[in-house]
Amino acid sequence: MTLGPLLAIETSCDESAAAVLDDQGRVLSNVVHSQIKDHAPYGGVVPEIASREHLARLPGLVRRALDEAGVAPADLQAVAATYGPGLIGALLVGLQYAKGLAQGLNTTFIGVHHLEGHLMAGTLDPAFDLAFPFIGLVASGGHSALYRVEEDLSIQLLGETRDDAAGEAFDKSAKLLGLGYPGGAVIDRRAAQGDDTRFDFPVSLRDRGTYDFSFSGLKTKVRLTVEKLQAAQGALSDQDVDDVCACLRKAIVEALVSKSVLACRRTQVHRLVLGGGVVANSRLREEAVRRGADNDIAVYVPPRPLCTDNAAMIGAAALARLRQGRQHALTLAPRPSLPLGDDGRA
Amino acid sequence: MTALVFDTSCPAAVVGLVVDGAVQAERTLVSPKSHAERLAGLIEDVLAEAGAARTDLDEIVVGRGPGSFIGTRVALATAAGLSLATGAPLVGVCTVLAVAASEPGDGRVLALIDARKAEVYRRLVTWEAGAVRALDEARASSPSDAAAEAASCAAAIGATHLIQPPPTVRLVPRQGPNTIGLWRAARAPDARRGDVVLPNYCRAPDAKLPAGARPA
């Protein structure tokens, strides 16, 4: 049985995405429509707006992905879609579309765990010959966790955030600083001009024997720092904002990188793969590579379009699962809090 | 002319197959929480019962609401995938009109769907010489306003339990449209055709802007 070409669909949050992969896992097309502009005025993702926008965009995106790949619908050997975790209404759009397409083509259908997608994004780059097992760090607006990933795709959770996700810490701090939503990119930009030694922001759970993260204390510290500056001088200068951004970014990146290195060393797995929207952060990308080199760890940082939500990574995870002989019936329903390792079958 | 017809925007989902205007097979499912899981199976069932293949389909007729936001998207997303796969054009129809067209009437009829939040989606139609025609647009309304509208009608159809019209109005309770109602609604001038057929939500998303902010 050949597994490609395969169409993958991702609609778990605020990116509508479609991609076509061949049976070797090469990306033939990868198109994404970000809804950031639709949600920005609300200061966060509005689920009903996300669902509406997915339905309006997805059919056009799928046609574009097929056109760019030079693949006709009838050529597809499999159709994949994210079925959790995520916003239920958003997941439903991609999942139902994929099931309808698979049913109409009488072809294989498979649902994919969103985080498996992020973890498998590392397999998409032929230049990076990814070997198993590896340690995977997923850091995004909804997730911050470390995993150990085996060749059979059994995935063990090593540690995760006890409160906010890393991306949430960026977003909430940006809101506090009046930098708008989403916060990650603008904080990264402002931080580049700031002094990252001016404030002493806490690095979460630094000295504890755990792989867990915690970012709520940092958020409070940012708030107190901003209030103190406001009380002393009225408003924050541009330099103040740059400096807060630099120190915040440093603290978040330090937590993510030091726990990742700790996990690699303690488990004797000297391969680290990064994934998730926060991995677009330039300091995280540099620090992970630098500290990996210091510790004899091979670090793979996917190109930015494969870090933020996309369908190519869903295709990569789907292919890996299909090679194991897995697929799903068309009764598959969205699972907003789908745990890893649950294959969706009752 | 073979049409696959379905709607999942109401408490009762319906899937049917229509050949040359005659219903060949129909399934109804009253279980809103499992519409997304069961839809594909119901489609297989009606195709098998009618002895039709996916490749036989000349059109896919689907209710575009108003109704449950999620339910309406379940049907339209599935239909868009099926349409790309089979090449059968998509026809989006007004679900309230389809409810009105589900059972033959005479004269003016008010069709109703439960809109939750103490409202109904309603649309006024007229039956003349065995054909149904919409007299206005679907919209959300209070049950008391809808009852007042129904007072000028021969009948009310659909979520009639939500209104209290005068006893002269014949009540025809229905939990959603049927196959022939959807097929008839596909002949109405407001049926939408195209690669992307969007729901008629009749309501803005429930989202609050921060003070002073304006939508993009």
For residue B158, the SS3 value is strand
Domain with CATH 3.30.420.200 in chain B: 100-173
State the fold for domain B100-173.
Nucleotidyltransferase; domain 5 (3.30.420)
* pLDDT(B213) > 80: no
Could you read off the pLDDT of A59-80 as tens digits, one per residue?
999 999 999 999 999 999 999 9
* pLDDT(B216) > 50: no
- Tell which wins on pLDDT, A210 or B93: B93
Q: How many CA atoms lie within 13 A of A69 on its CB side?
A: 29
Could you read off the pLDDT of A84-102 as tens digits, one per residue?
999 999 999 999 999 999 9
User: So what's the pLDDT on residue A346?
Assistant: 43
Residues in chain A: 346
Q: Three-class SS string for A216-271?
A: HHHHHHHHHHHHHHHHHHCCCCHHHHHHHHHHHHHHHHHHHHHHHHHHHHHHCCCE
Task: Find all residues with CB under 8 Å of A237, minimum gap 6, and list them.
Answer: none
Asked if A40 reaches chain B (Cβ–Cβ under 8 Å), the answer is yes
Q: Which residue of A has its CA nearest to B213?
A: A41
Edge-to-edge strands, sheet with B192-193: B22-30, B12-19, B2-7, B59-63, B90-93, B192-193
Asked if B30 reaches chain A (Cβ–Cβ under 8 Å), the answer is no
Q: Which of A146-155, B74-83, B202-211 has the lowest mean pLDDT?
A: B202-211
Tell me the nearest-neighbour CA distance from A96 into chain B, angstroms: 5
Residues in chain B: 216
Q: Which residue of A has its CA nearest to B214?
A: A41
Beta strands A27-34 and A15-21: pairing type? Answer: antiparallel
Could you read off the pLDDT of B86-112 as tens digits, one per residue?
999 999 999 999 999 999 999 999 999
Tell me the nearest-neighbour CA distance from B154 into chain A, angstroms: 37
Could you read off the pLDDT of A103-136 as tens digits, one per residue?
999 999 999 999 999 999 988 887 877 899 999 9
User: So what's the pLDDT on residue B214?
Assistant: 53
Residue A341 — pLDDT band, cuts 50, 70, 90?
A: confident
For A56, the closest of B43, B83, B196 (CB atoms) is B196
Average pLDDT over residues B31-56: 95
Asked if B211 reaches chain A (Cβ–Cβ under 8 Å), the answer is no
Asked if A298 reaches chain B (Cβ–Cβ under 8 Å), the answer is no
Average pLDDT over residues B78-89: 98
Could you read off the pLDDT of B125-147 as tens digits, one per residue?
999 998 999 999 999 999 999 99
Asked if B192 reaches chain A (Cβ–Cβ under 8 Å), the answer is no
Query: In 3D, which of A121, A109, A100 has the Cα closest to residue A58?
Result: A100
Q: Which amino acid is at B17?
A: L
Asked if B84 reaches chain A (Cβ–Cβ under 8 Å), the answer is yes
DSSP A161: B
- Which ipTM did the prediction report? 0.96
* pLDDT(B215) > 90: no
pTM of the predicted protein model: 0.95
Which one is the CATH code of B2-96+176-193: 3.90.1150.10, 3.20.20.80, 3.30.420.40, 3.40.50.300?
3.30.420.40
Which sign, positive or negative, has the C-alpha torsion B54, B55, B56, B62? positive
- Interface probe, candidates A103, A105, A335, A345, chain B, greatest B C-beta count within 10 A: A103
Domains, chain A:
6-120+308-323 (3.30.420.40), 126-301 (3.30.420.40)
Residue contact A93–B77, C-beta within 8 A: yes
Domain with CATH 3.30.420.40 in chain B: 2-96+176-193
Residue A170 — pLDDT band, cuts 50, 70, 90?
A: very high
